[in-house]
Structure 1
Amino acid sequence: MVNEKDALRLQSPVKHIGVLTSGGDAPGMNAAIRAVVRKSVYHGLRVSGIRHGYAGLMAGEIEEMDLGSVADIIQRGGTKLYTARSPEFLTDQGQELGVAMLQKHDIDALVVIGGDGSFRGARALSHRGVRTIGVPGTIDNDLPCTDYTIGFDTAINTAIDAIDKIRDTATSHERTFVIEVMGRNAGDIAVISGLAGGAESILIPEAPYDMDQIIDKLERGVERGKRHSIILVAEGVGKGMKIGELIGQRTGWEVRVTVLGHLQRGGSPTAFDRALASRMGAMAVDLLIQGETSMMVGIKGKKMIATDIDAALDSMREVDLSIYELAGILSI
């Protein structure tokens, strides 16, 4: 009698799955890779890792993986498969070369772990007949159709830890600090870490800000005896250094600026990111076994979902402005 696991393998339209990471790295990508590999092996499917994203795909940097290939990586930041950006893959010639490499290695499906640029590459391959599933991996949390992306939780915890440390020295020296966080054109990192870190003001690209109001809040704080403040700036707003210079010019105070930068991308992923990545990677394999393609894995509430990748890329991701407004109220 054929058991359920073997039945799924026999019915699966895919026999060999490739997995790659592309774009900016995010903590938890390794956990997603591990899930894709082990879920594939569990179902008796072949699985290969593609190094250096789409650039590595075109170059044929493809190696078959097994259970041991992903041992002891769930707790590691970065990506075991490395990552790269590839302008060449945006061209028809680059995409045709990618398809040819997959065919050469008998890979009939691909799991792409990355952000919106990576998903556009996955969509292009799906339009060329390659079964593809996208797994959202980016600290920016800027993809629609999912509450969280892999790496976001770790990034905000890294940011909060830095804010707490900077507040200690800001208190000691009675200074105002401007802290610039990542997020590209999204303000999620700034909003959540600003709320959790007690920032006095948060500047995000999704909401207009009034420098007069920011200065007024700072000066009112000084009048009531407050001797330090934290201004959090999302990189999509502009350079933290310029914001700091402007505040200093307007107030005459000594303002210090810290740019957290790529510090937010590194480090061991949180338990939340490890679990999320594991669930998403496993679901990607399940979708391929079920014959799905050109889909994006996501999470809404506690439920895992799948969305058409075209619909996802054509949608707009919006920051929760109610959280932004709450942060402003609590920082009065």
Structure 2
Amino acid sequence: MSKIKKIAVFTSGGDAPGMNPCIRAVVRTSKYLGLEVAGINQGYQGMIDNNIVDMDHHSVSNILQLGGTILKTARCLDFKTPEGRKLAYDNLQKNNIDGLVAIGGDGTFNGIELFSREYDVKVIGVPGTIDNDLYGSDYTLGFDTATNTVIEAIDKIRDTAESHARLFFVEVMGRDAGCLALRAGIAAGAEAIMLPEKDTSIEELIETLKAGAAKNKSSAIVIVSEGDKSGGAFNVAKKVKEVFNFYDTKVTILGHLQRGGSPSAFDRVLGSRMGFAAVKALVAGESRKTVGLRGNQIVLTDIKEALCGHEFKLEEDLLEMSVVLA
């Protein structure tokens, strides 16, 4: 494969705080190394629509503190078709792009892995998702900020729960992964945490709440990951209320609030490190890899391995702590 001359960066799938610092790092590292660099607006859809613009140092000025993504994002069904990918490749050729940095989650990674096998384009993936569910990195972009957002919300809910002797069921994002629910639940002192990875029956939950009530707890908070097998916060609350009515029961769905906001210092630095490493990897001839943080070192992982090589598991000590400390 030929030497990289021009890199394009794009964001795809759900937005996550830290994407903008990563975009900034990709652009400025590319320019520092004497490469041309472009931004693809609206992810794979922008690639198909040729919504591609050249970027320079000034294109990414004053974006470190911004949530979301300045390049916008979109979900694109056309890219899943051979015709859509051919059109995307033709547009990259028109713009002389021979390297891609893709910031996103598993759907994004599946797309660039297939695309790179079909066409002569080097690709590096950066894990950007608040779910923290991709193998190859201890933390994904946006997870730290989202966790702090959830904790802040729970702290405020706790105030009103204490004031009114209420039981709150707080639903957080995490369709298939309970990382956000587990960390936020421990940090906010939740009485119980419902996770997709751990079967907790309604009966078990009720016994936990009864034990708290017997100790004169004036309120309780249960964190429910949206992917929990019991069916989400409303369903769990309904089942509990039918049997246990010691508290006045309320439900709060945090929803897309969790994706927004200025990225934390951790996510700003992580995004910068990952964007810098992605460009360096492309220049070194790497492709079909993801960048990640393990310990305090940036490492590369094969995209296939990041997607399906290992089952992502929650930390056993955190799972035990969630019960013991509650």
Tell me whether the two structures share a fold, i.e. TM-score over 0.5.
yes
Q: Supply the distance in 2 between the matched residues of 1:244 and 1:93 (Cα, whole angstroms).
A: 47
Partner of 2:163: 172
CA-to-partner distance for each residue in 1:179-210, whole Å, 9 max, x for gaps?
00002210000000000000000000101102
**Which of 259-268 and 96-105 deviates more?**
96-105
Which sections of structure 1, spanning at least 5 residues, go unmatched? 1-11
- 1:219 deviates by 1.3
Q: Distance in 1 between matches of 2:314 and 2:75?
A: 26
The answer for the alignment partner of 1:242 in structure 2 is 235
Match of 1:21 among 11, 14, 29: 11
Of the three residues 253, 258, 268, the one matched with 1:264 is 258
Alignment of 1:267-306 (within 5 A): 267-306=261-300
Q: Which residue pairs with 2:29 in the alignment?
A: 39
Does residue 203 (structure 1) correspond to residue 194 (structure 2)? The answer is yes
- Helix, strand or coil for the counterpart of 1:14? coil
Q: Comparing 234-243 with 285-294, which one deviates more in the overlay?
A: 234-243
Q: What does residue 65 of structure 2 align with? A: 75
After TM superposition, the structure 1 stretch with the greater mean CA deviation from structure 2, 24-33 or 304-313, is 304-313
2:318 is the counterpart of 1:328: no
- 2:91 — aligned with what? 101
1:314 aligned counterpart, secondary structure: helix
Letter of the aligned partner of 1:184 in structure 2?
A: R
1:311 aligns with 2:301: no
> Can you list the C-alpha shifts for 1:37-85, whole angstroms capped at 9, x where unaligned?
0000001100000000000100000000000000000110000000000
Distance 2:193 2:222 in 1: 6
TM superposition shift of 1:319? 1.6
Q: How far has the Cα of 1:324 moved from its partner?
A: 1.6
Match of 1:226 in 2: 217
Say yes or no: does 1:193 pair with 2:184: yes
Determine the structure 1 residue equivalent to 2:107.
Answer: 117
Q: Tell me the CA shift for residue 322 of structure 1.
A: 2.1
Aligned residue for 2:155, secondary structure, equals helix
4+ runs of 1 displaced by more than 6 Å?
none
1:84 counterpart residue number: 74
CA contact (8 A) 1:95 1:124 kept: no
Listed one character per residue, the Cα deviations across residues 90-133 of structure 1 (whole Å, up to 9, x for unaligned) are: 11111111111100110010000000000011101210221000
What are the residue-to-residue correspondences of 1:142-161 with 2, within 5 Å?
142-161=133-152
| TM-score between both structures, scaled by the size of structure 1 | 0.95
Q: After TM superposition, give the deviation of residue 321 of structure 1 in Å.
A: 3.0
Larger displacement relative to structure 2 (223-232 or 45-54) = 223-232
The one-letter amino acid of 1:325's match is: E
* Contact map agreement 1:298 1:307 (CA 8 A) in 2: yes
C-alpha separation in 2, matches of 1:221 and 1:293? 53
